[in-house]
């Protein structure tokens, strides 16, 4: 990570030109996905726009934007679904855009998601370009775009916004922009509970940098200190990083009257928590009761194995420490949550560093061959996304 910390980031205009192929490719893939969704939904008499903006979590976010917190649904089994489970940054942006434009709250959420997805794609390119070069950066963005659950990137959900903040915070850490990294980490913490992964990455990088600076300073004295990042900036970044998540969690605790752990009670009302993966393992095991469901169980095991393998490959390729910490926390929180098993692929969407080993491999191929592969997967992803959103359950 030392070499990356000292590498100067390019000027913004030059950086945009460098990222242009990745952003254009990303926009093309997402346009294909939206077209497939529109055609599929139209054939079934449904509105693609409604599926993207006014179902499942999107409704909860727009309700927070319009009416604020305090809404809850009590289910017949006694569960309480409270909108306090949803972090505030996305609805704040929806409310701001609604106030500044003629857009509805749902339209504002859709617009924020579209813009955030482009910012996320640019951030993913910036990180991958820094670590593995421009060609791998383009491939990483395209791979993120063609994920089977990539349609979520265009929904009025918080995944795109969170991924944008996380990617640029990681890039700021890798280029030594500590205050920017801390501020973006704080904003990520206001977006989703998994913002803890960004905080952990900033803290891991900061601690490693402090240790390395002290170690290097012993034989070289003041010479090292003159070129090392400012200790004050690193410390301030580490203080800033957890403020967003901490502020919201403490506010929820105060609002519910249940103290600092009040947010955990809110999540429990949704039957969501962290059990180390026990519930998910039981869910997979229960699939092996018949041949059709057993095939699904095998697919889940293969999928989890692929995720773990990609992480191990990233370790072997010596990805920078902040990326490994961030990816590890996102993956652990996604796989070890005790509920919403069908949403786990979506929860893994922000773990973009998992794609870097594949991006490196794809970048080694000839352009025509890699374009053909990406194009084929993009078509399949578009069809799957349309099928998925037209289903009965939330993504």
Domain coordinates in residue numbering, the chain: 2-271+367-389
Which residues, including other chains, have CB under 8 Å from residue 32's CB and lie 6 or more apart? 378, 379, 382
**Count of CA atoms in the C-beta half-sphere (13 A) of 383:** 5
Joined tokens for residue 17: 């030109």
Question: Which residue in 289, 287, 185, 187 sits closest to 237, CA to CA?
Answer: 185
Q: Within the chain, where are the H helices?
A: 2-6, 12-43, 48-53, 57-67, 89-100, 105-132, 134-145, 159-174, 178-189, 195-220, 222-227, 231-240, 243-256, 262-269, 278-286, 291-316, 321-335, 344-347, 356-363, 367-389
Compute the distance between CA of residue 370 and CA of residue 139 in angstroms, rounded to an integer.
Answer: 9
pTM, rounded to two decimals? 0.93
Each residue's pLDDT, cut to its tens digit, for the chain (395 residues) gives 444 544 556 677 788 899 999 999 999 999 999 999 999 999 999 999 999 998 899 999 999 999 999 999 998 888 899 999 999 999 999 999 999 999 999 999 999 999 999 999 999 999 999 999 999 999 999 999 999 999 999 999 999 999 999 999 999 999 999 999 999 999 999 999 999 999 999 999 999 988 887 766 554 433 333 335 688 899 999 999 999 999 999 999 999 989 888 999 999 888 888 888 888 888 888 888 877 788 888 888 999 999 999 999 999 999 999 999 999 999 999 998 887 777 889 999 999 999 999 999 999 999 999 999 999 999 999 999 999 999 876 77
């Amino acid at each position: 990570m030392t070499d990356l910390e000292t590498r100067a980031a390019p000027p913004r205009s030059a950086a945009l030109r460098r990222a242009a192929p990745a952003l254009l490719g990303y926009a093309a893939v997402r346009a294909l996905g939206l077209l497939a969704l529109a055609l599929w939904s139209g054939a079934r008499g449904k509105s693609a726009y409604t599926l993207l903006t006014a179902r499942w979590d999107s409704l909860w976010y727009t309700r927070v934007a319009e009416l604020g917190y305090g809404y809850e649904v009590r289910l017949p089994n006694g569960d309480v679904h409270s909108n306090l489970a949803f972090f505030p940054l996305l609805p704040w942006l929806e409310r701001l855009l609604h106030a500044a434009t003629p857009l509805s709250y749902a339209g504002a959420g859709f617009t924020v998601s579209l813009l955030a997805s482009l910012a996320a794609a640019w951030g993913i390119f910036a990180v991958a370009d820094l670590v593995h070069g421009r060609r791998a950066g383009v491939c990483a963005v395209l791979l993120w775009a063609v994920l089977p659950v990539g349609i979520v990137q265009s929904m009025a959900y918080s995944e795109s916004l969170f991924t944008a903040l996380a990617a640029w915070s990681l890039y700021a850490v890798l280029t030594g922009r500590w205050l920017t990294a801390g501020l973006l980490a704080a904003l990520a913490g206001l977006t989703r509970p998994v913002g803890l992964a960004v905080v952990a990455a900033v803290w891991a990088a900061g601690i490693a940098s402090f240790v390395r600076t002290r170690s290097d300073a012993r034989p070289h004295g003041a010479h090292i200190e003159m070129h090392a990042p400012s200790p004050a900036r690193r410390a301030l970044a580490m203080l800033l990083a957890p403020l967003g998540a901490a502020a919201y969690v403490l506010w929820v605790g105060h609002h519910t009257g249940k103290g600092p752990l009040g947010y955990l009670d809110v999540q429990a009302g949704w039957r969501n928590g962290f059990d180390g993966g026990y519930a998910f393992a039981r869910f997979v095991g229960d699939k092996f009761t018949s041949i059709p469901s057993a095939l699904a169980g095998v697919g889940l095991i293969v999928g989890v194995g692929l995720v773990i393998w990609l992480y191990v490959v990233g370790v072997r390729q010596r990805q920078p420490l902040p990326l490994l910490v961030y990816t590890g926390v996102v993956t652990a929180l996604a796989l070890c949550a005790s509920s919403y098993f069908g949403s786990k692929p979506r929860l893994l969407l922000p773990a973009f560093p998992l794609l870097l080993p594949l991006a490196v491999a794809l970048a080694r191929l000839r352009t025509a061959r890699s374009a053909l592969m990406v194009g084929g997967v993009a078509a399949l992803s578009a069809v799957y996304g349309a099928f998925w959103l037209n289903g009965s359950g939330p993504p």
